[in-house]
Amino acid sequence: MKSGYAPVNGLMMYYEIHGSGEPVIQMHGGVGSTGMFSQIIPALASGRQVIAVDLQAHGQTADIDRPLAYEAMAHDIEMLRKLVLVSTPCKRAGWYPEIQAAMGTFDPEKVEQMKQSPMYQAYVKIAPRPDDGACSSRNSASF
């Protein structure tokens, strides 16, 4: 495995490269990281090159001074020939109306509640600046 940071659109994006062959980019969901895929990367990398990334304010990629938005994070990823989405919308409008409404109420109090979750505890172990992450008060308006 090779890992490091790449300068991408003003941020230093953490990446891991596993295997060799035709590349596939593996991206996590909200509040996730490359570590979420540790169980499946070996199987995927047996026949291709797997490039796993931590998006803005997630995992080992620190936040920068720009809105945390799908469009911005999409611009951080290289050109793709195909896109396979699993259990996620590609735009905020793809969420059910009830989910959109709940995201609109994501406030500092809910951020504090999330800090008790196992997902957040895993995040703070690897994040360069945990207070600036996707669950931060600054980014809560993005949900």
pLDDT band, residue 63 (cuts 50/70/90): very high
Region of poorest pLDDT, from 36-40, 78-82, 131-135: 131-135
Query: 2-142 has which CATH code?
Result: 3.40.50
Amino acid 143: pLDDT: 47
pLDDT score for 138: 62
> 82: which 2 tokens?
């195909």
- Does residue 139 contact residue 64 with C-beta atoms inside 8 Å? no
Contacts 24+ apart (CB under 8 A), 86-92: 87/29, 88/29
**Domain spans in the chain, listed from the N-terminal domain onward:** 2-142
In this structure, of 29-43, 54-68, 116-130, the range with the lowest mean pLDDT score is 116-130
pLDDT at 139 over 70: no
User: Which residue do the tokens 């509040």 mark?
Assistant: 31
- Give the model confidence (pLDDT) of 113-128 as tens digits: 888 888 888 888 888 8
Sequence letter at residue 134: A
Q: Read off the amino acid at residue 10.
A: G
